[in-house]
Amino acid sequence: MKRVFLIFLLFPTLLFSQNIEADSSILSKTTNPAYQFSTKKLIIPTILVSYGVLSLMSDGLKTLNQSTRHESKEHILPGAKIDNYMQYAPAIAVYGLNLSGVKGKHNFKDRTIIYATSQLISAAMVLPTKQLVGEERPDGSSKTSFPSGHTATAFSSAHFMFREYNETNFWLGISGYPIAAMTGIYRIFNDKHWVGDVIAGAGIGILSTEVAYWLFPTISKWFANKKNQASLVILPTYQTKQFGLAIIKTF
């Protein structure tokens, strides 16, 4: 039986700051239930990731992967690249809504810290796992099929939107999930991923955002600076063979 090991590694964050110290808001963050660990919130991502892992070993789920691919190729021609952009749509919507006056739970700096953290965690889980598992993509283009990075990004973005708006506008909060689901579906339509890859990616995405909120009270201390003192944080990112930097500057 094929063994599958999931490695959860957090890439190091480069932090450059000047005279950063915690402010009075740190206490409220550490006692707020929104930032506290909850095993209940692990249930859904655990189920999704577990299904993905089983799809690598179970003959029945492998058959389902193959039959789904066969059905999708019969009715839909691959080629639409909308999944490359849809994965970020829920997160972009959060910033757009805030600019239009529909405020979420956090200000610009705090939500940027949370979202950047979730993307780092997601990449730290997805990239090593792709290399370790070595599952071949349906189109044979590479052996980095499991799990789906696009879907992980999409669901981390959707769950970020949910966490920002679920208490004030539930329906608005869940509106990112259909977009995330379509991102995963398009990855299957484009012959880039199996069903199990997409389901596992969804679980990783949700989990990465949950962890980002749990870590926020600690990480926010790095950004809590004295009045009139500047801080600079550089967060490295990597996805689909492209490196990037998220830079957050406070004055």
What are the tens digits of pLDDT across the range 45-70? Answer: 999 999 999 999 999 999 999 999 98
Q: What is the pLDDT of residue 33?
A: 75
Which residue matches tokens 């926010």?
A: 220
What confidence tier does 14 reach under pLDDT thresholds 50, 70, 90? very low
Those residues whose C-beta lies under 8 Å from the C-beta of residue 162, and which sit 6 or more positions away, are 173, 174, 176, 177
Tell me the longest C-alpha to C-alpha distance in the chain: 62
Helices marked H in the chain: 25-31, 43-55, 59-75, 83-86, 89-99, 108-133, 149-165, 170-173, 176-189, 195-223
Burial 94-103 (b: 16+ CB within 10 A, else e): beebbeeeee
Number of helices followed by number of strands (H, E) in the chain: 10, 3
Per-residue confidence band for 237, with pLDDT thresholds at 50, 70 and 90: low
Displacement of CA 154 from its chain's centroid (Å): 6
What domains does the chain contain, in order, with CATH numbers? 41-224 (1.20.144)
The one-letter code for the residue type at 162 is F
Pick the residue with more confidence: 79 or 36?
36
d(CA 187, CA 94): 24
What average pLDDT does this structure show over 216-221? 91
Mean pLDDT of 5-19: 33
Encoding tokens for residue 140? 């044979």
| In contact, 145 and 153? CB cutoff 8 Å | no
Q: How many C-beta atoms surround the C-beta of residue 187 within 10 A?
A: 27
Residues in the chain: 251
